[in-house]
Amino acid sequence: MRINLIMTVALTILLISAFAGTQRGVAAQTAVTGSGYTQPTERKVALREEGLDIKGELPVLTGEDDLSSRINQRIEDTYRQKVAAAKESKARSVTFSYTCYPPSDGVASILLKTSITTAVSKDEVDSFNYIPAESRLVGVNDILGPNGLQIAGKVISQRIRADSERYYTNFPGVQEDDAFYVTGGNIFFLFDAFQIAPGSEGIISFDLEIDGVINTRPIRNGVGYWINESSYSLKMVSLRAVCADLGYTIHWNESSKVITVDRPGDVTVSFKTDVNRYQRSRTDASDITRSLESAPVALDGANYVPISFFDQILELVAYHVDENDSIIFTTYTES
């Protein structure tokens, strides 16, 4: 009787432990998949069509949700477009490969690389970025703010200018269909071979720290800027309202009446109120002096400049006018 009792207690403890272990397993699984992210599986491709060898691997999202279906369809559409382009160029082969990045700052990324071989080999890359927890695809502006594409383009333009022997000088900026991915708190922009540099450079990558992108609060009409109706509705923006938020310092020289705006390691700009002449000195470019649509204006104790001052003179600033006619300015600084 005592032996049976001991065995019963032991069996009960074992069952409780097993149940607890099972519950812990469920909890752990929920923690992993709670973000809605599932690692894509692989679909192998190996066939020959119209003299073209088609090979490699394609990513496949296994979820039955609408987001997975949309991403899979985009991947399939890209695959078909690349195959069609390879056939059109009389290529010998087209090879596909991919890389998946699990959520970083909530964003998951899939990169699809295509290598098309004709007389030479050309590498191209496409990206598919999404927030699994919110079941939606995202673009650069969803991650960096309303001026994301613009500010990324300005940062990359500066880096290209600093290494002009390596890159083409006619960089058009970052476009909505350029590839990118997010990992480790950074956003990486990718450009196809021959797109911004000689083909021997292959796929080019530039990265920005996501936290390095700084957006101002919305600047409202009548508070942070006013409209000069006599000058084609020109927006005149308060230096003070924008510069402090973006890390620029304003200096006033009483004796010379010169206003200076600067940021260490970036730019120094000098000008006088009511004189349409802005002098700029940069660490990576020649000094310039130029005019804008208007001279700076002093009004009610504040200094105002044309809105173009920020993106054309300070340069590393982008802006966006929203549906409420408020302006959001953006810059970039590295830690």
Choose the weakest-confidence range: 3-12, 67-76, 165-174: 3-12
Would you say 218 and 226 are in contact if contact means Cβ atoms under 8 Å apart? Answer: no
Distance in angstroms (rounded) separating the CA atoms of residues 47 and 45: 7
Taking only the tens place, the pLDDT of each residue in 90-139 is 999 999 999 999 999 999 999 999 999 998 999 999 999 999 999 999 99
Does residue 269 have a pLDDT over 50? yes
* One-letter identity of residue 217: R
Please return the burial class of 119, using the count of CB atoms within 10 Å of its CB with bins 0-12, 13-18 and 19+.
exposed
Which amino acid type is present at position 251?
Answer: H
CATH architecture of residue range(s) 216-332: 2-Layer Sandwich (3.30)
Predicted local confidence at residue 105, as pLDDT: 92
Distance CA 183, CA 210 (A): 10
- For residue 139, the Cα-to-chain-centroid distance in whole angstroms is 7
Domain 41-209, CATH number (from 3.40.718.10, 3.40.50.300, 3.65.10.10, 3.30.565.40): 3.30.565.40
Residue 74 and residue 67: Cα distance in Å, rounded? 11
Q: Round to whole Å and give the CA distance between 174 and 245.
A: 24
CA 82/CA 299 separation, integer angstroms: 58
- CA distances, 36 to each of 31, 140, 157, 221, 319 (Å): 10, 21, 36, 42, 34
Answer yes or no: are the C-beta atoms of 40 and 60 closer than 8 Å: yes
* DSSP conformation class of 216: P
**Predicted TM-score (pTM) of this structure:** 0.86
pLDDT tens digits, residue range 16-30?
333 333 222 222 222
Residue ranges of domains in the chain: 41-209, 216-332
> Given this model, what pLDDT does residue 35 score?
66
